[in-house]
Amino acid sequence: MTIGFNGQVAIVTGAGRGLGRSHAELLAERGATVVVNDVVGADEVEAAINRAGGRAVASDDDISTPAGAASLVQRAAEEFGGVQILINNAGVGRFTTLDLASIDEYELVRRSGLDGTFYVTREVWPLMTAAKYGRIVVTTSGNGLLGNPASVTYAIAKAGVYGLMRAVALDGAEFGIKANALAPMASTPMSTEFVSPDMAEMLRVEFPTSLVSPIVAVLASEQCPVSGYTFDAGGGRIGITFQGTNAGFYDRDMTPESILSSWDSVVSRADFVEFASGYESLSMVAASRERALVGIGE
């Protein structure tokens, strides 16, 4: 099976360098018309793709504002007739503890990573729902999914992006729209000060030997098998990160003391279920009650 994007239009944000550039170049190589969005570097990537025989146009719209996101999507729609693929890659990293994180830092990281993802996704949504087709990839991080020391503002933005993806995946199901998240482990300009030369080679992202962009191509393709998933990729490995809900402790007459005395059941990971939505997780309460009633009957 060959994955290709002939006749499809892709927007890639934050594509002036690093991961975004690699995503844009891979999609273009496989036939997509790519709108390369970044406040810096987009023209260079446009030229490189066109020299290689692909088709790309540069955009320096500031997607951290509603107006910039609207301008980006409007241009793609007017020039190419629609948008089938959106790769939300733009983001800014700042790595501090809560006591050192300023309001300015928080707003900078949030506007670029979370607000920009929301604004552009919101703008492409009417195009995709009307076409009954779309592929959306957002970029989250282990910082937001699992947490890391000294990364509070970045973690907030990336956790928000994950939540956006989950909601969009559910809303898009009836329209043929699939949304997934990427949590990359990659050597990029953002991570230069934290990554040794050996680690940089292990986590390389540059096209055409990127160890991250291939999964983005899968998620952007017509053949994409899933929606609502989070994929962690880096160093040659692709896997998933997911949330599970355990069986827990059930007691309709619970007290603080009964909870604490049953703490092993409350936090046990031996028996868990992965739910598709928050509504679906309500079934866990009913299942716990049924198990408790059976036990009482016995």
pLDDT digits (tens, 9 = 90+) for 11-23: 999 999 999 999 9
256: exposed, middle or buried (Cβ count in 10 Å: 0-12, 13-18, 19+): exposed
Strands 245-246 and 33-37: unpaired
250 catalytic? Reply is no
Q: What is the pLDDT of residue 298?
A: 38
Do residues 45 and 19 make contact, with C-beta atoms less than 8 angstroms apart? Answer: no
Q: Which distant-in-sequence residues (6+ apart) come within 8 Å of 64 by Cβ?
A: 111, 112, 115, 116, 119
How high does pLDDT run on average in the chain? 90
Catalytic-role residue among 119, 133, 154, 250: 154
Do residues 124 and 166 make contact, with C-beta atoms less than 8 angstroms apart? Answer: no
Give pLDDT tens digits along the chain (298 positions).
899 999 999 999 999 999 999 999 999 999 999 999 999 999 999 999 999 999 999 999 999 999 999 999 999 999 999 999 999 999 988 889 989 999 999 999 999 999 999 999 999 999 999 999 999 999 999 888 888 899 899 999 999 999 999 999 999 999 999 999 999 986 556 555 555 666 666 666 788 889 999 999 999 999 999 999 999 998 889 999 998 888 899 898 999 999 999 999 999 998 888 888 887 777 666 666 566 555 544 3
Q: What is the pTM of this model?
A: 0.90
Q: Which distant-in-sequence residues (6+ apart) come within 8 Å of 100 by Cβ?
A: none
